Amino acid sequence: RMANEVVLLETWASMYGIRVRIALAEKGVKYECKEENLRNKSSLLLQMNPIHKKIPVLIHNGKPICDSAIIVQYIDEVWSHKAPLMPSDPYERAQARFWVDYIDKKVYDTSRKMWLSTGEEHETWRKELISVFKQLEETLGDKPFYGGDTFGFVDVGLISFYSWFYSFEIYGNFKMEAECPKLVAWVKRCMQRETVSKNLPDEKEIYDHAEASKKALELK
Amino acid sequence: MASSQEEVTLLGVVGSPFLHRVQIALKLKGIEYKYLEDDLNNKSDLLLKYNPVHKMIPVLVHNEKPISESLVIVEYIDDTWKQNPILPSDPYQRALARFWAQFMDDKCVVAAAKFVLKVDEKEKEKATEELYEALKFLENELKDKFFAGEEIIGFVDIAAVFIPLLQEVAQIQLFTSEKFPKLFKWSKDFYNHPVVKEIMPSKDQLFVYFKARAQSLAAKKKN
C-alpha cells in the first residue's frame, strides 16, 4: 500500500504556491517540494497540468490537483482531522469562496496593470489597487481573521500576497498602514503563526525579483 | 407554517448562461423560488444592494442572505439541500469537478462570448482559436453521457450550459459532429434532459440577451 505521498510543484515567488504551503503546514502534512523553472518547465509539470501548464500543482499519491483555491479546499477535505480552513456553515462557506474568487480576480491583475503602466493609466490602476485592499479590509471588519475567531480559507488566500505588499507600496507610492491599518493589524496576527511566517518569502527578495521581471519585460 | 418556509429569490436576466446554471441546480433539488428579471443596462436597486461588489447577476437570496457568482451559488445550493447531489463526495473527484467548472469560466465562456457578440474581426479570429483549443480539451475529458461519466448530470455539465445554449438554442455551430463527436452528442443529451429543457430560453429570448450584452460591452468600451 502506497504511503501518503505528497509532492508540490511550485516556484519560490508564487503567492499561489504559498497558499498551498501554508495549508499543508496548517494540517501538519509532510511533503516534497519541487521548484520549477517556468522558462524551462519540467516534464512532470507538463504531464501533471497539461491544460494550463502552471504551478502550483499538488500531486497526492500520483494524482494531480491544480489551481491553488481548489488545492486548498482539497487539502482541507482530505486532512479534515485538524485545523479546518473552510467554515462549517454553508452560507459562510459561500462567502469564503466568493472572497477568494474576488482576491483571484482583482489583486494580481490590478497590481500588474499598475506595475506596467505610466502616467494617467498608472494612476487609475494605483487607485483601483488601493480600493481593492480597502474592500478587503471592509470585509474583514472587526473580526480577528476572515474565518472569524480562527484562521481560515480567505486568510490563507490573502496572506499569501503579503510578501508582495512592500513592492505594491513602492510601485504604487502608498503605505498600506496609512490606507488599510486594520488589514495591517490582521497581517501581524497572521504572521504570529509559524505556518505563515515560515512560508512567506522575504519581501525585499520579492521586490528584486519584480524589478528583474520588469526590466526583462521592458527589454522585449 | 410560515416559520419553516424557506424564502428563495433569484435575480437574473433570461438568456444568461450564469443564471441558467443556478436554475438547473435549483430545479434538480426541487427548490421553489421567486424569480426577478433584472436589466443589464439599467440595474435594479435590489441588485446593487445584494451584489454591491460586482453588480452582476445571478444573485441567490436565501432567507434574506445574498450569494453571488454562479459557481459559488451552485456549490451553496449543493451544500444546503442534500437531495440529488451535484458534486461528487470523493475529495479528488470534487477537485476535478471544480477544476473543469473553472476551466469553463477561464477558457471557454469569454472566448465563446467574443465569438458570438461580433467584436472586431481580429478579436473574433483569436477567440475562435481559443475556443477551439478549449473545446478539444473538453472533448478528451468527456467520458460517457455526461461529464461525471454517469447517467446523471453534475457540476461540470451545469457549468457547461453555455454550450447547448449556443449550439442548440441559438443554433450557432460551435462544433461539428465530425470534429467533436462526444461534445456534439453531450450537447444534445444535456439540452434534452427534462430539467434543462424546462429552463432553456427561446431563441428570441437568447438573442435579446445577446443584444443587451453587446450594448453594455460597447458602452464599456466608450468609457
Q: What confidence tens digit (pLDDT) does each residue in A24-36 have? A: 999 999 999 999 9
For the record, the C-alpha cell of B132 comes out as 477551439
3-state secondary structure of A198: coil
How do the pLDDT tens digits run along chain B, 223 residues long? 333 357 999 999 999 999 999 999 999 999 999 999 999 889 999 999 999 999 999 999 999 999 999 999 999 999 999 999 999 999 999 999 999 999 999 999 988 888 888 667 888 888 889 999 999 999 998 877 777 767 789 999 999 999 999 999 998 888 899 999 999 999 999 999 999 999 999 999 999 999 888 888 778 776 6
Residues A56, A136 share a domain:
no
Query: Is B91-192 in CATH node 1.20.1050.10?
Result: yes
Residues A98, A25 share a domain:
no
Are B137 and A98 within 8 A, CB to CB? no
Are B76 and A77 within 8 A, CB to CB? no
Its pTM stands at 0.95
Q: Select from B22, B48, B45 the least CA-distant residue to B35.
A: B22
Query: Is B8-84 in CATH node 3.40.30.10?
Result: yes
Are B94 and A67 within 8 A, CB to CB? no
Report the residue count for chain B.
223
Residues A184, A205 share a domain:
yes
Q: Which CATH number does the domain housing residue A16 bear? A: 3.40.30.10
Answer whether A96's CB lies under 8 Å from A152's CB: yes
| Residue A163 placed within a domain | yes
Query: How many other CB atoms are there within 10 angstroms of residue A215's CB atom?
Result: 9
What is the domain partition of chain B in residue ranges?
8-84, 91-192
Q: Which of B72, B94, B103 sits opposite A51 (nearest CB)?
A: B103
Determine the structural domain holding residue A190 and report its residue range. Answer: 90-219
A73 contact B CB<8A: yes
3-state secondary structure of B21: helix
Q: Which of A78, A90, A101 sits opposite B69 (nearest CB)?
A: A101
Q: Which of B53, B80, B99 sits opposite A67 (nearest CB)?
A: B99
Residues A17, A115 share a domain:
no
This complex has an ipTM of: 0.95
Q: Select from A59, A35, A37, A39 the least CA-distant residue to A47.
A: A59
Residues A144, A58 share a domain:
no
| Residue A84 placed within a domain | no
Q: Which of A78, A90, A95 sits opposite B91 (nearest CB)?
A: A78
Q: Which CATH number does the domain housing residue A140 bear? A: 1.20.1050.10
Q: Select from A175, A153, A170, A169 the least CA-distant residue to A103.
A: A153
From the CA of A77, how many Å to the nearest CA of chain B? 6
Q: Which residues of A touch B98 (CB under 8 A)?
A: 67, 70, 73
3-state secondary structure of A220: coil
Instruction: Identify the domain boundary among A51, A79, A107.
Output: A79
| Residue A174 placed within a domain | yes
| DSSP codes of every residue in A99-151 | HHHHHHHHHHHHHHHHHH--HHHHHHHHHHHHHHHHHHHHHHTT-SBTTBTS-
